[in-house]
Amino acid sequence: MKVYIETFGCQMNENDSERILYLLENAGYERTNDIAASDLIILNTCTVRERAKNRLYGHIGNLKKLKNKNRDILICIGGCTAQDLKEKIIEVFPYVDIVFGTHNIPELPELIGRRRLTNKSICSVENNGFDHDLFKVRRKQSFKAFLPITIGCDNYCSYCIVPLVRGNERSIEAEKIIRNIEELVSGGLIEVTLLGQNVNSYGKNLKKTYTFSELLEKVSNIKGLKRIRFITSHPRDFSKSLIDIIKNRDNIVKHIHLPLQAGSNKILKEMNRNYTREDYFNIIENIKKKILDCAITTDIIVGFPGEEREDFLQTIDMVKKIRFNRAFTFIYSPRTGTKAAKMEDHITLDEKKKWFRELLEIQNIISSEENKKLVGKKFEVLVEGNSAKDGILLKGRMENNTIVNFEGDSSLIGKIIPVIITGAKTFYVMGELIRNNS
């Protein structure tokens, strides 16, 4: 039996797909990249970003042909859009066999078995308190792993659907995290990325509590672990002690992803972000003062309800002053059930698109200028695979998260190697492998 799985959205969803594959392999399935040859199709969906529902509907629509050809193929829709839309998906597409929520992954093999025995589509999205094992996953590579340390979110940023679909924040015990990473390192792990919607609030629900900084210190002590990344940080909870740990530990990467979302205090308040632009500037100043060459990336939303041109210009002002290495930019789009979806919004989408392009243009120039500063310098690069653009070149990642494309043999995949940067683009740099360290 073959399973085809497609993952949309964030790293948390990637991790969920790895868990799904682990469960299904144990149930006798083998992964395939050929959708037409599969017995089971899984779409692991995302609802955070733009027009997710329309895109998903397009995708499911395309599966009808396959289902018509082979009635035995099972179509399963999981992830955040499934959690959000529930039975509605089956109402619109009766040939969808299973809709499963973000809390129901451990049940999937059983749901599949049940569906094969009955004639009725199944929708399972209730949070039934299953204490599922987040660390039982099937990974493509052993040298790199994404590991959730918290799931869910308690912040209720007014635009965000995540707390509604992923539930309240739950942290995983530090001992369990450490044990898992130690095992992975003995199996060849080089780089771990600790995942959470707001990693800085780690530990709140645990009896024996460590702060995120303390957890990071413990992870950093693991022998043989070369690189530790973490996403995402929330400016409200970003502590000074964290900056010190990043500075002092060689295996914690000098890259911080710190979503700004907006540069105007009025909009930050409406977003329920719980910090001001001054607070954010302060954190950045502290980081830049203490950690030399720390890369800072961010997320920004343009066109939040009530955002005026002068508010948007405050965002532009921060982008110019801070000079993010990279910004992930989004046009605000309402999510049913969130507080912002009920707010009055009088700026047209066309106007928002204009602002969005304006921001993108400025940020792209900054990204490209920051990348140019790397040219001529040597960096350690973890080789991740072949580059997406050009299957011949290798793709690696510098400690500061910059992508490097360079010529080399695929035997280098999974190794940290020295590279000299030879050219800069907006979203990546070009490099040359340094042989024999010459």
CB 186 within 8 A of CB 210: no
Q: Is residue 198 near ligand SF4 by the rule CB under 6 A?
A: yes
Please tell me the total number of residues recorded for the chain in this structure.
438
Angle at 407 between CA 379 and CA 141, to 5 degrees: 75
Q: Is residue 297 near ligand 5AD by the rule CB under 6 A?
A: no
Q: Are strands 394-398 and 378-386 parallel, antiparallel or unpaired?
A: antiparallel
Q: Is residue 333 near ligand 5AD by the rule CB under 6 A?
A: yes
Q: What is the dihedral of CA 61, 10, 106, 67, to 10 degrees?
A: 10
The entry of ligand 5AD, ligand SF4, none near residue 78 (CB within 5 to 8 angstroms by kind) is: none
Is 77 or 301 the residue whose CB approaches ligand 5AD more closely? 301
The entry of ligand 5AD, ligand SF4, none near residue 155 (CB within 5 to 8 angstroms by kind) is: ligand SF4
CB of 360 to ligand SF4, least distance (A): 20
Q: Is residue 197 near ligand SF4 by the rule CB under 6 A?
A: yes
The position carrying tokens 């539930």 is 167
CB 396 within 8 A of CB 419: yes
Q: Dig out the tokens for 116 from the structure.
A: 């094969």
DSSP 261: B
Of the candidates 160, 284, 318, 322, which one interacts with ligand SF4 according to CB under 6 A?
160
The entry of ligand 5AD, ligand SF4, none near residue 163 (CB within 5 to 8 angstroms by kind) is: ligand SF4
Q: Specify the stretch interacting with ligand 5AD by CB under 6 A; choose among 91-99, 175-183, 327-335, 386-394.
A: 327-335
Is 114 or 339 the residue whose CB approaches ligand 5AD more closely? 339
At 133, phi and psi to the nearest 5?
-85, 110
Total site size for ligand 5AD, rule CB under 6 A: 12
CB 99 within 8 A of CB 86: yes
Residue type at 94 in one-letter notation: P
The entry of ligand SF4, ligand 5AD, none near residue 198 (CB within 5 to 8 angstroms by kind) is: ligand SF4
Is 324 strand, coil or helix? Answer: coil
Of the candidates 301, 319, 383, 403, which one interacts with ligand 5AD according to CB under 6 A?
301
CB of 219 to ligand 5AD, least distance (A): 24
Q: Is residue 162 near ligand SF4 by the rule CB under 6 A?
A: yes
Residue among 361, 375, 362 nearest 429 (CA):
375
- Residue 6, number of CB atoms within 10 A of its CB: 13
Q: How far apart are CA 382 and CA 226, in angstroms?
A: 10
Q: Are strands 416-424 and 378-386 parallel, antiparallel or unpaired?
A: antiparallel
CB 162 within 8 A of CB 343: no
Of the candidates 124, 155, 298, 371, which one interacts with ligand SF4 according to CB under 6 A?
155
Is 100 or 159 the residue whose CB approaches ligand 5AD more closely? 159
Of the candidates 153, 262, 381, 417, which one interacts with ligand SF4 according to CB under 6 A?
153
Query: Residue 375: beta bridge partners?
Result: none
Of the candidates 78, 79, 148, 163, which one interacts with ligand SF4 according to CB under 6 A?
163
DSSP string, 123-168: EE---------TT----S-SSEEEEESEES-S---TT--HHHHH-S
Is 160 or 219 the residue whose CB approaches ligand 5AD more closely? 160
Is 159 or 238 the residue whose CB approaches ligand 5AD more closely? 159
Q: Is residue 157 near ligand SF4 by the rule CB under 6 A?
A: yes
Is 418 strand, coil or helix? Answer: strand
Q: How far apart are CA 200 and CA 210, in angstroms?
A: 11
Q: How far apart are CA 100 and CA 76, in angstroms?
A: 7
CB of 411 to ligand 5AD, least distance (A): 36
Is 198 or 405 the residue whose CB approaches ligand SF4 more closely? 198
Q: At what angle do helices 212-220 and 240-248 cross, to 10 degrees?
A: 10
- Residue 48, number of CB atoms within 10 A of its CB: 19
Q: Is residue 105 near ligand SF4 by the rule CB under 6 A?
A: no
Is 3 or 162 the residue whose CB approaches ligand SF4 more closely? 162
Window 126-165: contact mask with ligand 5AD (x via CB under 6 A): ---------------------------------xx-----
Site residues for ligand SF4, window 22-81 (CB under 6 A)? none
The entry of ligand 5AD, ligand SF4, none near residue 422 (CB within 5 to 8 angstroms by kind) is: none
Please give the residue ranges that form the binding site for ligand 5AD (CB under 6 A): 48-49, 159-160, 259, 261, 299, 301, 330, 332-333, 335
Please give the residue ranges that form the binding site for ligand SF4 (CB under 6 A): 153, 155-157, 160, 162-163, 197-198, 234
